Amino acid sequence: MPHSMTSFHGSLFGPENQFAITLIRAIEQQPGNLYNPFYLYGQAGSGKTSLVNALAARMNSRANTTVVVTSAQDLSNELYHQLPPDNSLHPLHKSCVIVENIQTVKSESTASHLLEQLCDLLPQTKIQLVVTGRDLSESFSSLRKRLRGRLLSGQIAELKKPAFGTRKAFLEHFAQSQKITMGPGVSAFLAQYLLQPTLAELQQLLLVLQDAVQMEQETLCVEWLKENLEPSRESTLTLPCVAQEVARQSGLTVPQLRSPHRTQAISTARQTAMFLARQLTSSSSREIGRYFNKRHASSVSHACHKITRCLQHDRVLQEQLGQIRFRLQQVSHRNHLKTRHAS
């Protein structure tokens, strides 16, 4: 049976996300009446922004309909010019307000108070409120209890990770839109190459590979992929490269990772870097420990064991590690291809 995909005004989603798409379509047809507020969640790269932007574009194309799409951090700036002297949101001349990344809102922030006011206005104004975030727990942990209750009292839908058929169909659709020629079997090969990737990661992977085959004047075929993406090939990643990517993802600097500081943020990032260095580079535990200014190789083993345990239950760490690993794989692919091209 062929795999079917749902197209929502340029955004492609598989049957695993049919529930979320059905709700978005209903909101488009009857904003403010059925599912209000509406909370859409999913990991970074799952397609939340693409989906709500498609909704906004569709609604804005209608007469007498105005939609604002904003991040949670910029909510107050977006609505400030409409606030009367008492800072009340009533009246607010919007048909739909879409607020992305609810996990960035702090409990006593202006954005938090504006969202509470907006929730209070929903029944009488019929303004449609759509909120996006990463999950059902940590995204709301910093919100006040009242606001958290209001947002979770509406309709909730998850954008799930794409299944194999969705990933394959997405790659074929994206390749066609970018005029990228893929040989037989390439989409299936790439659809299962990464471990539970998002559509955004697949898109980035295909673009990286397209640049690589153009540089080598090759064609994107399964044989070329097997040769160049072979996991057993010698790693081209270095310890500074791993440290730099982990530091960037963690909002830190490489000197901080290599310092003796033991704050939770720095310690976790340092342990993550050692964990990835052990997996993705050819460096020994002793070399990794020396790079991070640890006297004993046992420090690296301890870090690897701790990160392995945390990965069993920490969804945020799982997501962060996946993003770092993917970017490091891209670097490794580029380095490997440059080396082959130079030789």
The token duo for 78 is 């977006």
The token duo for 264 is 């939770």
Mean pLDDT of 242-253: 90
Radius of gyration of the chain (CA): 23
Residue 86 has pLDDT above 80, yes or no: no
Residue 96 has pLDDT above 80, yes or no: yes
Where would I find the beta strands (DSSP E) of 31-150?
Answer: 38-41, 67-71, 96-100, 128-133
Q: Is the pTM of this model over 0.85?
A: no
Alpha-carbon distance 72 to 143, whole Å? 12
Mean pLDDT of 158-174: 88
The mean pLDDT of the chain is 80
Alpha-carbon distance 47 to 5, whole Å? 14
Is the pLDDT higher at 210 or at 90? 210
Using pLDDT thresholds of 50, 70 and 90, give the confidence band for residue 327.
Answer: confident
Q: Give pLDDT tens digits for 308-317.
A: 888 777 767 7
Cα separations in angstroms, 201 against 135, 195, 269: 19, 11, 22
Buried b (16+ CB within 10 A) or exposed e, 137-163: eebbebbbeebbebbeebebbbbbbbb
Residue 19 has pLDDT above 80, yes or no: yes
Matching residue, tokens 């010698």: 234
Mean pLDDT of 7-32: 81
Q: What pLDDT, on a 0 to 100 scale, did the predictor assign at position 11? A: 55
Mean pLDDT of 178-201: 84
Q: What pLDDT, on a 0 to 100 scale, did the predictor assign at position 85? A: 47
Please tell me the least confidently modeled range out of 84-98, 273-287, 324-338.
84-98
CA proximity to 236, closest of 124, 343, 123: 343
Mean pLDDT of 169-181: 89
Residue 274 has pLDDT above 70, yes or no: yes
